Amino acid sequence: DIVVTQSTDSLAVSLGERATINCKSSQSVLHISANKNALAWYQHKAGQPPRLLFYWASSREVGVPDRFSSSGSGTDFTLTITSLQAEDVATYYCFQYYSIPWTFGPGTKVEIK
């Protein structure tokens, strides 16, 4: 099974500052033939279902603000919030769908400093 890890359990960032979340998979999630990484990012706020932010590592879901960006390939990925807003307080999960069983990272809780 592919194990997905995230570099930190929690992160406290000042409003307007940058938040960076790192994600690592235990093996590459790159589909070589399609040249696409089977990696997604979800935002999860308390009391709500999770919200997809990015899929194929860097394709932005409709409606996601452009202060969110995603990059990476192979085994290492990064989600960046360039200017943190109060409504961005949530837990962020990376998620690999390269091979069954699909697996989520443990989550990174983003809070306001």
Partner 1 sequence: ELELVESGGGLVQPGGSLRLSCAASGFGFSNYWMHWVRQVPGKGLQWVSRIRGDGVATDYADSVKGRFTISRDNINNMVYLQMNSLRVEDTAIYYCVRLLNADYWGQGTLVTVSS
Residue 78, beta-bridge partner list: 22, 71
Q: How far is the CB of 73 from partner 1 (least distance, A)?
A: 18
Residues contributing to the site for partner 1 (CB under 8 A): 1, 40, 42, 44, 49-50, 52, 55, 61, 93, 95, 97, 100-107
Q: Which two tokens stand for residue 75?
A: 């085994």
Tell me whether residue 16 or residue 63 sits nearer to partner 1 (CB atom).
Answer: 63
Q: How far is the CB of 107 from partner 1 (least distance, A)?
A: 5
Q: Measuring CA to CA, which residue among 50, 60, 63 is closest to residue 104?
A: 50
Nearest CB to partner 1, comparing residues 82 and 103? 103
Tokens of 82: 């360039």
Would you report the helix, strand and coil content of the chain in percent, each value rounded to 5? 5, 50, 45
How near is the Cβ of 85 to partner 1 at its closest, in Å? 22
